Every structure is written in C-alpha cells, then in structure tokens.
Chains A and B, each alone.
Chain A
C-alpha cells in the first residue's frame, strides 16, 4: 500500500510542476500590470521603477527562477494590489472553497446512492426517470445559467433565499444547489450503471437464494461492489469542484479560492494568482492521492498491482 502511494506521489509531482510553470508563463503573457497600478500620467521613469520594484523588468526565465527560489523558502511573494502575503491570501480563501466542495459532494453522494440504487432496482420507475433527467440537466445547463435562474426564482420571485453572500445558513443553499447539479447527475448515472451490473451478478443471486431481503442485498452486497467506480468518479468530481467553483463563487460573492483567482487575473496580481493556483493544485494532488488510497482499500487488485 505504501509503495503504491509513494509511486502515486512521485507521478503527481510532475503535473504539479507543469502547472506551476504554466501558470507563471501564462500569467505573464496576459500583459503588463503597470497601467492598472500607475496613474495615466506615469512617466517612463515611474514605469521603470514600478517594473524594477516588482521584478517585472527581468527576463521571464530570470523571474521564474526568482519565483522558484522564493517557493523553496516558502516565500510566495506579495500582492500587487494589497501588499499582503500572497500565500496568506490564498490560504485564507481556500477553506471557503473546500467547505463548499465538501457539502456539495456529501449531498451528491447521498443523493446519487439513493436515486441510483432505486433506479437500478426498479428500472423505468420514477427514480429512474429522475436519474435520467438529472443526467441530462447536468450535461446541458451551464452553471452560470443555473445560478442566475436560481437567484431569480428563489430570491426575487419567491423571496425565500438570499441572493448571495455568506451572512446566514440559507446563503449556502443556492451556491451548493448550483454546484450540485452536475456531480449529482453524473454520479447518479454511475451508481445506477454499477448497481445494474452488481444486481445481476451471481453473488447477488446467491445472496437472494439464501433469503437475503431487498435492502440487505442492495446495501450489504451490491453496493459495496458498485462503490469502487462511484468513488473514482466522485473523487474526480470533487477535484472538478475545487477547481471549477470560479463561476459560482464570482456570482454569489463567495470568498473562496475561485473568486480570488478571478480577481487576481483581472488585476494582473501575479503573485496571488500563482499562490492560488498552487494551493488548488496541491489540494487536487492530495485529493487524488486520497482517492487512490480509497480505491486501493476497496479493490485488492489495485494493491496487488502496486507490489509488482
């Protein structure tokens, strides 16, 4: 198991470094931040001074080496906008995203297991239709549209939820509902498919022949074997949530890492953008390892492969 995880850590470091370099280079391709931070009348000397102060006058390769040297010493630079430590800003914003992702996936997993099992057990039942509807909705409706429509219906027309913000427990509902639709739709389909296979497997027929009831067959026999593919997909979806909460956070004013990234991009606040991406990439890296570990726990074949 440890050998498997060790190998997984090594292989994940490569994409992490690629992300680190990629964001650094791409950020600099988006243009010079000088015009955003200096007045229109700034003289060439003032522009040169600003560039020198922020290391923007050096060749990109030299800037990157400076950055990597800082990262090794846990110095991620300062925000051009606020002067605050970029790492502190990223770490302060990240828990808000994580909370959103956690609750969304918790609800998605519970919902997908209930609807997926029901749909698999009773093909063409209402649950089966709900499952198909969710799947189609998830595939066809963009987050942006769903968020704005949710605000209009539940905040403006019905007046039962706040439009945005973080002031009360109710303010969680619309962001989570917006984020939930895609993982719930995808995961329900996965659970349904896996359960259909599992329920027709010989060991389930054997369990039935021994007198096991419907609930016991589903929960104690079929679901355990259907869990592995669902866990893999759930993990990928969680990674997607952490990575893709940008639109939802921007619309709902949610103070997470996605909103921080958007603000940093618009403000050409390179250090903050790099720190935010790094925090996100590391969290995805950790999540992927946890998913693999969970997968290995559930499936002995994975553990065995790691010993080869």
Chain B
C-alpha cells in the first residue's frame, strides 16, 4: 500500500469515526428527552397519577357514555344537571337544583345559580338547553344519543336564565335519569362538530394533552363546589395489565384501573363490582341455534361457578340475568341455570333426532382483552359445547372486528355465539332490554311482539311497579326468547397506592371522580 493511499484511507476512517461520534452526541442530546415528549411524570404530593388501559379517543362530552371517555370527562371536566348516586341509585341535584314533571310530557329543571364554566363564562339555562339539544337532536352522532335517548327528538327551551324545559313526544317517567347522561357545555361549543378538549363546569379543566402519551387536568379555580384536594391529575395509558399494576407498586402512579386478578397488584389491589355482566348471545334465527333445545343445551353447558371460581379467582358471581344488583329491574331471586352437561347432551341428541343440523359449524366469537381470562373462558365453553355434541369453532377478534357482530346491521355469517359484556351505567333495566332484547334492539338478534309489548308496558311505570315489571321481563327472557346464556356479574380490580384514599363503587369504571380522591395523610373528615 502506498503512503498516499494509506493516508487517504486513514483520513476517510477518521472522517467516518468523527461523523459517527457527531451522530452519537447529537442523538444522545436528543435522547435526553424522547421525541415529542414535553412533560414529565414526576411524583408530587399535589398530583394524582392515574394509568388507564387506553387513551381516551376523545374528550367530547356527548360521547361520555363511552367508558374510555367518560372515565376522564364525567364529573371531572364537565357535569350534568342531575346525577345518579351509584350506591343508592337515587337521582341527586348537580347543576340543576330541582326538577319536576310539570305536565304529562314536560319536565322542568331549575338551574343552580352561581355556576361558571372553567373559561369564566356563566352557566345558565341557555347553556343547558344548548347542551341537551346538541347531544340529542344534532346530527353529530353523539354516543349518549344512541345509548340513552331513543329516536324521538326532544323539544328543549330555556324559559328564563334559571329554568329549562324538556318536552318529549310521549310521557317519559325516567327523563331526569336520561338527562343525567348529558354533560353541560357552553353555547360557544361547536354545534356542528365534536370537540376534542371541552370546556365544562367541573372541578378540573384540561391542562395539556400530549397525544399518545399523557393527559393532564388541573384544578378549576372557579369551581362552584368544594375544592378538590389534588391540584392536578395526570392520566397515562398502558396496554399491559401487569405493567399498569407495576406502575402503582413501583410508585409511578397512584391508581391503575381495569386489572385482572393475576396482574400482580397484590395488597394494593381493590376489587369492586362494576355493573358488567358477561353472557353468550345466541343467533337464534340461524340453524341449529334457531332450535330452542339447542339454545337451552348451550345454557346448561356453561359452568358458571367453575368459571368464576377457577378463572376469575372468585371475583364475580354466576349470573341469571343481564343486569347487576344495582339496576332497577334486577331480581335477586333468580337462580343461574345449573351446569348440567348430561342434560345438554340429551337435548342436542333429541334435536339431532328431529333433523336439526347440530353438526353445522357454530362460530364462537370473542373480543381479545374484553375482560381478564376471556380466552380461557371461551375455551372452557367451547370444550363443554363440543362434549354436548355441537360443532363450535373459536374466533377471537379485536374490538372493531367483534363490533361487526355486536351491533346492527349484523353480517350474514352463519350461526354465531357472541361473547358480550354489558355494563348498564344508567341504573335502569330499560337501557338493557331496549338494546339487547327487543325485536329490533341495536344489539339483539331477535325477539317477539309479545315480549316487546311487555317491555313497552314496563317502561311506562315508575317506582316499585317498574321494578317488579322489569324483574318479570328479565325472569321470563329464558322462556320467551332464550337469546342469552348468562355467565357472570363481574368484579373489577384497581390498584391503589397507600398514599391515596378512594373507595371505588359500581360507577367507577365509567366515571372516576377525582374530587372523591384524597391524600391518605390528611384528615378524612376535614
């Protein structure tokens, strides 16, 4: 090698080394903070750090009936006129001081004076009327509209700054309960489109939202009610339950939600009933599921007690109906269908002898991650159904895939058993049966005119009569339809740092109120 070439190569290598070093240094400098991360997650006594399974898709208040949105928005950023007490089921005043049925189909709400939005503007009846109209009568496709209100439009009027009236096409005895789902926003809110970061009257307001990373709420200094203890709440999201639990045990978060019993929260785990009920929905208009005996056999094949005991580690109760104990219409006397594989096999054999095509493949569809141990639950059920003589194939899907089978219009896809998990946030069985048991329910495969009429009759009642009528409707579902094989009323687990005082309740999964969280080192009575 000539000296000149050696020198040239040496220069090239030194240049390469220098370039590499420069890249390293610049990358290291950039590496001090991850690209697009602007805020830290540092602990502070005034800050509550909460880790959720997923980022809220939006903070739009009219979508607050979506669990992932409502858990952040409801009663933290925005508030309704009326709220339902999760423990007693009673309706209580919030931004309305009182309400009354002033005529058959008119309800009048008296607005609480002295309330302002977090932007400083005054809240009055015009805002209330705007909020209801926007959520229910607009074309922006609010989730609360579909979940809580029917297709009929409401006539909403601000009579004066302190009074708003809501007129329904026919008398609606539970309108205030429905109104409890409408979050109040100022009239300056976009009425033609959804917003991502709302203004509300709640104890907190949005501070910043690093999309994909974290969301920070800070105390609303103009809040009309009691001052919440924490000045700030930072929400983060992690997919893995074990990571969420570890964040609390490792002092990186004060609260972690939606954990499984095996996620490792240990002594920091708190179990609570979450209003969710799991069930198999059967497509009863497709053979062999159109034969009542086959649906009955499927019901007998579900080992509810075994699933709750072995898979859910006791966190839950075998179910005999689609609503939980805190819901109007729940019947505590109903007993779950017993596990009877012999009876199931006999029913299938009897149907087969009558020409029912029991060998036809049935698709058993589940949603990945819908609840802890769903894979094992589905496998246990498939195994039991196979032993009963049915031909069942498991298909696990993500949310979007499974939703195609959950909501009308249903795809034409052969006989389907769909694992559903239904949470009634509203506290009244009407919101369950309308969707899941009516002939034309959004999440119902079939029904009968007779059963629809019974639902109609129950919905016109109030008080004890309403409770009794819905209890009867739910009790008779297996004999009149048997669209469902109920599995379990579920419990949820959250991990809670010892530094925080908070009692989760049946509404926690949908509405986690920051103002109810206090520091454990402060006097609870103060």
Contact = CB atoms under 8 A, between A and B. Distances in A.
Interface of A: 30-33, 35-42, 46, 50, 81-84, 89, 92-96, 98-99, 102-103, 106, 148, 151-152, 155-156, 159, 162-169, 172, 250-255, 259-260, 263, 265-268, 297
A96 B34 contact: yes
Contacts of B146: 39-42
Interface string B133-145: 0000001011111
B196 A163 contact: no
Given A155-B246, A167-B41, A41 B139 contact: no
B40 A167 contact: yes
Contacts of A46: 139, 141
Contacts of A82: 196, 211
B141 A106 contact: no
Contacts of A99: 27, 30-31, 34-35
B238 interface: yes
Interface in B110-167: 139, 141-147, 151
B85 interface: no
Given A103-B31, A163-B247, A251 B240 contact: yes
Contacts of A96: 34-37
A264 to B, nearest CB: 11
A39 B147 CA distance: 8
Contact of B404 (A32, A37, A106): A32
B42 to A, nearest CB: 7
A103 B27 contact: yes
B212 A259 contact: yes
Interface stretch (B395-403, B500-508, B517-525): B395-403
Contact of B400 (A50, A93, A103, A267): A267
Nearest to B23: A102
B247 A30 contact: no
A31 B147 contact: no
B250 A148 contact: no
B442 A41 contact: yes
B201 to A, nearest CB: 24
Interface string B41-78: 11000000000000101100000000000000000000
A35 B34 contact: no
Contacts of A95: 30, 35-36
Given A31-B401, A92-B36, 18 more contacts: A30-B400, A32-B404, A35-B403, A35-B404, A39-B144, A40-B143, A81-B58, A84-B211, A102-B27, A103-B27, A106-B24, A151-B242, A155-B246, A156-B246, A167-B41, A250-B239, A253-B213, A255-B210
Interface of B: 12, 23-24, 27, 30-37, 40-42, 55, 57-58, 139, 141-147, 151, 196, 210-213, 236-240, 242-243, 246-247, 249-250, 252, 264, 398-401, 403-404, 406-407, 435, 442-443
Contact of B399 (A36, A41, A94): A36
A169 B32 contact: yes
A184 to B, nearest CB: 18
A83 B190 CA distance: 15
11 contacts: A35-B407, A36-B403, A39-B141, A40-B147, A93-B212, A99-B30, A162-B250, A164-B252, A165-B252, A253-B243, A263-B55
A93 B213 CA distance: 11
A251 B238 CA distance: 7
A156 B398 contact: no
Contacts of B34: 96, 99, 166, 254-255
A84 B212 CA distance: 13
A168 B407 CA distance: 44
A216 to B, nearest CB: 15
A163 B152 CA distance: 49
Contacts of A167: 40-42
A255 B238 CA distance: 11
Contact of A152 (B242, B247, B398): B242
B145 A39 contact: yes
B443 A152 contact: no
Contacts of A260: 212
B245 to A, nearest CB: 9
Contacts of B443: 40
Nearest to B12: A297
Contacts of B142: 39
A106 to B, nearest CB: 7
A155 B145 CA distance: 44
A45 B326 CA distance: 36
A164 B238 contact: yes
Nearest to A158: B250
A106 B147 CA distance: 53
Contacts of A265: 398
A152 B264 contact: yes
Contacts of A92: 35-36
Contacts of A156: 246, 249-250, 264
A266 B400 contact: yes
B400 A163 contact: no
